Structure 1
Amino acid sequence: MLTVIENLLTADEVRQFRARLSDAEWADGAASAGTRSIAVKQNLQLGRQDETARELGADILRRLGHHPLFVSASLAEVIWPPVFNLYQDGGHYGTHSDAALMRLPEANLTLRSDLSATLFLSDPDDYDGGELLIEQAFGAQAVKLAAGDMVLYPSSSLHQVTPVTRGQRICAITWIQSAVADTAARELLFDLDQSVQSLSVGKAKDDPDIDRLIHVYHNLLRRWAKP
Structure 2
Amino acid sequence: MTTIAIDGPAAAGKGTLSRQIADAYGFHHLDTGLTYRAVAKALLDAALPLDDETIATKVAGEIDLSGLDRSVLAAHAIGEAASKIAVMPDVRRALVEAQRAFSRKTPGTVLDGRDIGTVVCPDAEVKLYVTASPEVRAGRRHQEIIANGGKADFATVLADIARRDARDMGRADSPLRPAEDAHLIDTSTMGIEAAFQAARAIIDAALK
Give the TM-score of the pair, scaled to structure 1: 0.28
Where relative contact order (Cα < 8 A, 6+ residues apart) is larger, the structure is 2
Instruction: Identify, as 1 or 2, the structure richer in strand.
Output: 1
TM-score using structure 2 length: 0.30
In our comparison, the structure showing a higher alpha carbon Rg is 1
Task: Judging by fraction of residues, say which structure has more helix.
Answer: 2
